[in-house]
Chains A and B, each alone.
Chain A
């Protein structure tokens, strides 16, 4: 996997981790504990895949990325059926929705990457059997030029910053921010933010 893709995954994990940790403040213990574990795991994984120069525990990360969405859906269905809206009242729509976007992005990229790895491994195995002189280097691992890498990282940073900050502002901790900081020309005026 290229360093650019890994950076995008890392940024998404950092964004999701910070949002999940911010949601802990308004959550009851039963929801708060999984959120803390999830947030810390996302932050740790996000930093480690940059530092270690490889994808750590990709299968587990893939499952972890969609776990919040599954749990949120399950809680929402339960809250609707019982009916007991207080179950999901701490999980506000905007922060959970944005964290879910990050999670789906991570899961999607990991799925494609794992499939390509499997395909490359199969092709390499076949080629080795027929021709021992074949070059087996992975074309995806080519180093990017500094300018290309920086451009990609800056775009990702701006996107993650622009998505994460409104999400944080929509948590209970960030609600006060709107009163003082304005709405950035409507950017922070997202439905559900002040629920």
Chain B
């Protein structure tokens, strides 16, 4: 695993997002599932229950893919990265509206955009030889 950037990244990010998802529940007591105003995780990142569940699902997908194979981790890295890129951009437009069902704030947008760039970059740019071997 340590030789594949995609597997390493998926495993590390998966573990971190699972942890963030679990920690999120400590900040969301009294916050509704889709509340547009959530609690603050680590005093910075705003989350509601739906946001926590999303973190748990994404963390689980990344972790399982990272522990499975290079192909799976590349695919999940690219898909999650693209989803985060979309969320990072859309997030700016929905912040002040009822559509903000993830209770996103500016700090979340930084995190989402950074994660998107890293996941997409590694997914698209690394482990080319493994992909070429798989197609051969």
Contact = CB atoms under 8 A, between A and B. Distances in A.
A177 to B, nearest CB: 4
A146 B122 CA distance: 10
Contacts of B104: 181
A168 B96 CA distance: 15
A169 interface: yes
A10 B92 CA distance: 22
Interface residues of A, number: 43
Contacts, number: 118
B124 A177 contact: no
Consensus secondary structure, chain B interface: helix
A146 B96 contact: no
Consensus secondary structure, chain A interface: helix
24 contacts: A3-B125, A7-B122, A10-B125, A47-B120, A47-B124, A50-B124, A149-B5, A150-B12, A153-B118, A153-B121, A154-B118, A157-B121, A161-B110, A169-B92, A169-B109, A177-B92, A177-B106, A177-B109, A180-B105, A181-B104, A181-B107, A183-B106, A184-B44, A185-B44
Interface of A: 3, 6-7, 10-11, 14-15, 18, 22, 47, 50-51, 53, 146-147, 149-150, 153-154, 156-158, 160-162, 164-165, 168-169, 173-174, 176-185, 187-188
